[in-house]
Amino acid sequence: MSPTTPEELAAAVRALPRVLPVGAGTKARLAAVAPGVTPVSTRALRGIVEYEPDEFTFTARAGTPLAELAAVLAERGQYLPFDPPLATAGATLGGTVAAGLSGPGRWRFGGVRDFILGARFVDGEGRLLRVGGKVVKNAAGFDLPKFFVGSAGCCGVLAELTFKVFPRPAATRTLRLTARDAADQVRLLRVCAGGRWELDALEAAVDEPAVFVRLGAEEAALGPLVAELLGRFPGRELVTAEAAELWTTVTGFGWAHPGGALAKVLLTSGEVPAFVTWVRAQAGARAWIGAGGNAGYVSLPPARPVAVSPWAGALLRGNGPRWLGPRRTAAVMAAVKRALDPAGRFPDFED
């Protein structure tokens, strides 16, 4: 089913006993439908409903492609600074929220959870509800829109979303800092994270001994910062085209196996060496370290299921359970789930 309006979306949910919201399918495992469950697509729910450049906010339908949003924001020198992944693959705004995925810019600016202001959604009783607001300063109360981040369609179907945006930096520079091994990568991640440079992004490769940092500011301010970093750490600055290719690869998971499994796990920087060891024990595995060492991504060749993960995470593509590693459902999550979906129309958090 592909409703074209929020009202049609509500009617579709009321007509079905079991429902799973799906978007563009760029995180296919999260959109996999179990027997007896009907997929309801939000792809026809697209378009910007309201955009206030002077207020740095917009409201758009859940099925709006990220690439379309980025183009409109760019015309006014604005952007979503958490670098939402898979934009070039067709990812939608609602799917990004439901998957809880953020890109390299999460390091400095926060993730998708920090930018969502309001939502219009259909609950388990088929009611079209609105939570949050359309301004940055909002009324006090439970910040329910943030609850939908990473909920994977367990509590409702998103129809519209309101986000705040930031001015795009005047210029950016990217450095590749050389590391001797995984332990040295951890040292670099920690030193860079605790430095005064206010890095826009801090990422690390698993298949090469390097840490990548991105800075954004006025051009005049970047030169001294780059000189200071390269004076302290071995490495080099990437030329513009090289940097653009790097960040396109990172946000689009271009390093991953085409058609293979892709999973995200939650780390701390101190767990990076163990993560690297675990990845290298998986035949054919490729991996990336994001958010200063707080996120790990692993990809396996096609037809290979993801092995049991020592870390909590989610399987975005491939064969295996949606949720990986140790998982705990907080009491407040269960309570909100019961309130929004008393009949169990949507998947459970443990499904």
> Residue 158: helix, strand or coil by DSSP?
strand
Domain-wise residue ranges, the chain: 6-167, 171-241, 261-324
Note the pLDDT of residue 349.
79
Spatial separation of the C-alpha atoms in residues 142 and 191, rounded to whole Å: 36
Note the pLDDT of residue 136.
62
- For range 139-146, the mean pLDDT: 72
Reported as a single tens digit per residue, the pLDDT across 18-74 is 999 999 999 999 988 888 899 999 999 999 999 999 999 999 999 999 999 999 999
Q: Both ends of the chain: CA-CA distance in Å?
A: 22
**Which band of pLDDT confidence, cut at 50, 70 and 90, is reported for residue 249?**
very high
Do 6-167 and 171-241 agree at the fold level?
Answer: no
Average pLDDT, the chain: 92
Q: The pTM is what?
A: 0.92
Residue-wise over 63-74: b if at least 16 C-beta within 10 A, else e? bbbbebbeeebe
Note the pLDDT of residue 141.
56
- For range 143-164, the mean pLDDT: 92
Spatial separation of the C-alpha atoms in residues 290 and 214, rounded to whole Å: 12
Q: Which CATH class is domain 6-167?
A: alpha beta
List of E strands, the chain: 19-22, 38-41, 48-52, 57-61, 78-79, 116-122, 128-132, 157-164, 166-167, 171-178, 201-205, 210-217, 235-237, 261-266, 286-290, 295-300, 313-317, 323-324
List of E strands, 67-170: 78-79, 116-122, 128-132, 157-164, 166-167
**Which band of pLDDT confidence, cut at 50, 70 and 90, is reported for residue 319?**
confident
**Which band of pLDDT confidence, cut at 50, 70 and 90, is reported for residue 321?**
confident
Residue bearing tokens 């760029």: 26
Note the pLDDT of residue 144.
85
Reported as a single tens digit per residue, the pLDDT across 174-233 is 999 999 988 899 999 999 999 999 999 999 999 889 999 999 999 999 999 999 999 999
**Alpha helices, DSSP H only, in 170-271?**
182-193, 219-232, 240-251
Note the pLDDT of residue 140.
54
Amino acid at the residue 289: I
CATH topology (fold) of 171-241: Alpha-Beta Plaits (3.30.70)
For residue 114, count CB atoms less than 10 angstroms from its CB and return exposed for 0-12, middle for 13-18, buried for 19 or more: middle
Note the pLDDT of residue 305.
75
